[in-house]
Amino acid sequence: MSRKILVLPGDGIGQEIVAEAVKVLNRLREGFGLDAELEQGLIGGAAYDAHGEPLPGVTLEQARGSDAILLGAVGGPRYDTLERHLRPERGLLGIRAALELFGNLRPAILYPQLAASSALKPDVVAGLDIMIVRELTGGIYFGEPRGERVLENGERQGFNTLVYRESEIERIGRLAFDTARKRGGRLCSVDKANVLEVSELWREVMDRLAADYPDVELSHMYVDNAAMQLVRAPKQFDVMVTGNLFGDILSDCAAMLTGSIGMLPSASLDSQGCGMYEPVHGSAPDIAGQDKANPLATILSVAMLLRYSLGEGALADRVEAAVGRVLDDGLRTPDIHSEDTRLVGTAAMGDAVVARLND
Ligand SMILES: NC(=O)c1ccc[n+]([C@@H]2O[C@H](COP(=O)([O-])OP(=O)(O)OC[C@H]3O[C@@H](n4cnc5c(N)ncnc54)[C@H](O)[C@@H]3O)[C@@H](O)[C@H]2O)c1
Ligand SMILES: CC(C)[C@H](C(=O)O)[C@@H](O)C(=O)O
Ligand SMILES: [Mg+2]
C-alpha cells in the first residue's frame, strides 16, 4: 500500500523551501520507485488565515492518517500581535505534543565543501558530525503552571515551570543511548544540575540508564560550558542529549559550525518511529519571498524522513549524495556563498539537487 506524506509548508520561507523538497520527493516517485502519496495541509499562520487557528482539527486528522510529515516553518511578524494561543508557533508546539513527538534528532554535519562558511577555523571543524538529541514535548515549553499574574504590590509577573517526569527523561535517554550505540559510542548529557533540581533528576536517570549501555561512554556537562565547548572544540562531541529549551539553543549554535542554519535538518519521532521532519530554522521573514532561502536543510529533512519513517535508506543516501554533488558543483545560496562559488536562488538550488539525483 502506498504510504502517505503530509506536507505542511507553513509560513514565510516555509512555502519556498518545501516547494523544493516536494520537487525532490516527486522525482523520487517518478524515477526511483518511491511508493508514496503527498497530501498538502495547513499549519501556523497559513492555518490561522484559513481557519482562525494555527492547528485546525483537520490538520491533526491528516497528520494522524499519515506515515510521515514534512514541515517547513511557522511564524512571522504579521502574527506577533495575536493572542498567544492563536500564534503560529502554538500550532507547531501543538502538533508535536498531540503526536507525542518527544525525540528530536538534530544532526550537525559539516559538508567539507562548506568549510569556508563555518564560523570556526577549518581544522577545528573538519569532519564535524554531531547528533543533538533534544527532548521535544516536555520541559519549560509545556510545564504548568504558566502564565502571568499581578503581585500584591501591583507589579506583573510572568512565569513558566521547568518540569520533567522520570519517564520522560528515561524515554529521551534511551533514544539518545540507542543513537550513540549506532554511532561513535559517546553520549554527553547536558543539564544545569549545579542549580536546578530537575537537572539533578535528569542526571540520576541518565546514570541509571548507563548500566544498560555498557558500550556507550556517558559524560555530563553543564549547559553553559556545553555552549562554550561547542564553539571551542566541537569535535569532542558525538551525541548530545538535553532538554527542550537547552536543545533549542544549542542546535542553533551548532548550525553555525556547519556554515549556515539553512543546512540543518531534523527529525521529531514518537515511540513508534512515526515522525515529523523539518529544518531547524524558522520562517526567516527577513528573506521570505525573495528566492534567497537555502532549501538544503529541508531537502536533507526529506532524507531523514525516507530513512526513519519510510525505511528507504537507499533513497535517503541518494538525496544526501545529490546535495553533496551540488555543493561539489559550486552552487551556493547567499547564506553559504563565498568566493569562487556560484550564487543561486532557492528554486535553482532545488532544481540542481533534483538533476543530481540521477548520478
Ligand atoms: N520550526 C519553526 O517553524 C521555527 C523555528 C525557529 C523560528 N521560528 C519562527 O520563525 C520566525 C522568525 O524567527 P527568527 O528570525 O528568530 O529565526 P529564523 O531561523 O527564521 O531566522 C534567523 C536568521 O537565519 C536566516 N535563515 C533562516 N533559515 C534560513 C535559510 N533556509 N536560508 C538562509 N537563511 C536562513 C534568516 O534569514 C535570519 O537572518 C519567528 O516567528 C519564529 O518564532 C519557527
Ligand atoms: C518556533 C519554535 C516554537 C521552535 C522551538 O522553540 O522549538 C523552533 O525554535 C525550533 O527550534 O523548532
Ligand atoms: Mg529553534
> 91 with 152, same domain?
no
Determine the distance separating the centroid of ligand 3 and the alpha carbon of 249, expressed in angstroms.
Answer: 6
Look at residue 27 and tell me if it is in a domain. yes
Residue 352 has a pLDDT of 98
Which of 208, 237, 256 finishes a domain?
256
- Catalytic, out of 35, 207, 212, 224: 224
Q: What are the residue ranges of helices labelled H in the chain? A: 13-31, 45-51, 57-64, 88-98, 122-125, 166-182, 197-210, 223-232, 244-255, 296-308, 313-328, 346-356
> 248 with 172, same domain?
yes
Which of 206, 225, 256 finishes a domain?
256
CATH code of 80's domain: 3.40.718.10
Residue 169 has a pLDDT of 98
Checking ipTM against 0.85, whether it exceeds it is yes
**pTM for the structure as a whole:** 0.97
Burial 174-210 (b: 16+ CB within 10 A, else e): ebbbebbeebeeebbbbbbbeeeebbebbbebbeebb
Give the mean pLDDT per block of 10 residues along the chain (359 residues): 94 98 98 98 98 98 97 97 97 98 97 91 94 98 98 98 98 98 98 98 98 98 98 97 98 93 97 92 98 98 97 98 98 95 97 96
Residue 128 has a pLDDT of 96
Look at residue 121 and tell me if it is in a domain. no
Q: Which residues surround ligand 3, an ion (CB under 5 A)?
A: 248
Residue 274 has a pLDDT of 83
> 224 with 171, same domain?
yes
> 248 with 142, same domain?
yes
Q: Which residue bears the cell 528566492?
A: 291
Task: Measure the CA–CA gap between 273 and 284, rounded to whole angstroms.
Answer: 29
Residues within 6 Å of ligand 1 by CB: 13, 17, 73-76, 89, 92, 261-262, 278, 281-287, 293-294, 297, 335
Task: Measure the CA–CA gap between 106 and 208, rounded to whole angstroms.
Answer: 24
Number of domains forming the structure of the chain: 2
Residues within 6 Å of ligand 2 by CB: 75, 89, 92-93, 248, 280, 282
Which of 204, 238, 256 finishes a domain?
256
> 250 with 281, same domain?
no
Q: Which domain range does residue 310 map to?
A: 1-105+264-359
Residue 273 has a pLDDT of 75
Summarised one tens digit per residue, pLDDT across range 291-342 is 999 999 999 999 999 999 999 999 999 999 999 999 999 999 999 999 899 9
